[in-house]
Amino acid sequence: MAFLTIEKLVKTFGTQTTVKGVDLAVERGEFVTLLGPSGCGKTTILRMIAGFESATSGTIRIDGKDITDLRPNQRHIGMVFQAYALFPNMSVADNIAFGLKVAKKSSAEIAARVKEMLELIKLPQLGDRYPYQLSGGQQQRVALARALAVKPQILLLDEPLSALDAKIRISLREEIRAVQRALGITTIFVTHDQEEALSMSDRICVMNDGNIEQLGTPFEIYNYPKTRFVASFVGTLNILNGRVLDSTSGRLSIDDQEIVTARELGGASTGDTLALALRPEALSIGHANGGSNNLTGTIDEVHFLGSVVRIRVRFKDNVVSLDTFNRPHAAPPERGQPVTVNFTREDILVLDRPAI
């Protein structure tokens, strides 16, 4: 059995069901991210794991033990929130020591643990400072140390980076992951930022409207999205309408031009209409390329962005956007120019719902 097991978890607020029967199994030491748009139920799941919110139905087990109805302080869980939530009138060291004092640990044990935690978050000199004397990133590291000081079984992180500016956010991603790996602590991370999820997680659980849409590694989620929602929420995507010419060989038609996919057609038959997707980075511009797919069209928009030039190519009803590298000595792409867009058979994502 996995270390954290959630079964058929439901949460209803009044008449609104926010979490609609979620099943999730997280292995010991794993870093799993709940990723989804605002309001899809991520925080509610985290709060039910922590015990701040009761489950309407379903069970939560840690290491085989049913904790669904335990009080928060009986669950041995550490949590870090979006807002730093440090005690403003306590020093950094006292903030970190807080849980250990509540647990009535000896002062020698507390001092040793605080020192260890300050080293872990790379702020060994700052124990005597107060939260207002720290940057946002430092405060969030202290919040992490405070959550970890009591040696929780599971670490819950609720958008801990979203209040920080972009540069700090990226360096803290790496630090949080390094601390998590060093301790081997099972972690659930909540974010609506797809790049954060892709760069930090062992597995990502993409959520939509109270349900899990897909659970997989970042590689699987990005390259093999199972639904249109996952495909468009994670990464940038061109969506095209295609028709199945032959379901056995994977031959498709886009605006009367033939292409071939190496992907499963999701049960579609010859003659069906399908939604297809192509990542911009899978596309290149050139001459008709033997062995791969080619679609000819016309450039109908050009945006010069410096290092890249973003262009839009129209075939007939379908359009795709892609980036080409800026080359100072070559003629830039121009509106109205005919071009051939190349991509491989593996690059075509077949989305779940047929296009209308």
Please give the residue ranges that form the binding site for ligand ATP (CB under 6 A).
13, 18, 36, 38-44, 192
- Specify the residue for token string 């190496």: 262
CA distance 248 to 269: 9
- What H or E segment, with its residue span, contains residue 248? none
Q: Which residue is nearest to ligand ATP (CB)?
A: 43
Taking the complex as a whole, the smallest distance from the CB of residue 84 to ligand ATP amounts, in Å, to 17
Nearer to ligand ATP, 44 or 293 (CB): 44
**The token pair that represents 241 in the structure block:** 């309408």
Nearest-approach distance from CB 224 to ligand ATP, in angstroms: 24
Do 249 and 225 contact (CB within 8 A), yes or no?
Answer: no
Q: For 347, list phi and psi in degrees, rounded to 5.
A: -80, -10
Count of other CB atoms within 10 angstroms of residue 201: 23
Give least dist CB 209 to ligand ATP, A. 9
* Alpha carbon distance 189, 199 (integer Å): 12
Please say which residue, 44 or 261, places its beta carbon nearer to ligand ATP.
Answer: 44
- The encoded tokens of residue 188 equal 């659930």
- Tell me whether residue 306 is exposed, middle or buried, using C-beta atoms within 10 angstroms of its C-beta: 0 to 12, 13 to 18, 19 or more: exposed
Nearest to ligand ATP of 16, 125 (CB atom): 16
CA–CA separation, 170 vs 277, rounded Å? 29
Closest approach of Cβ 196 to ligand ATP, in Å? 12
Give the three-class secondary structure for 187: strand
Q: How many CA atoms lie within 13 A of 287 on its CB side?
A: 1
Nearer to ligand ATP, 12 or 59 (CB): 12
> In the bound complex, what is the minimum distance in angstroms from residue 82's beta carbon to ligand ATP?
8
Shortest Cβ 59–ligand ATP spacing (Å)? 19
- Nearer residue to ligand ATP within complex by CB, 42 or 141: 42
Closer by beta carbon to ligand ATP, 18 or else 293:
18
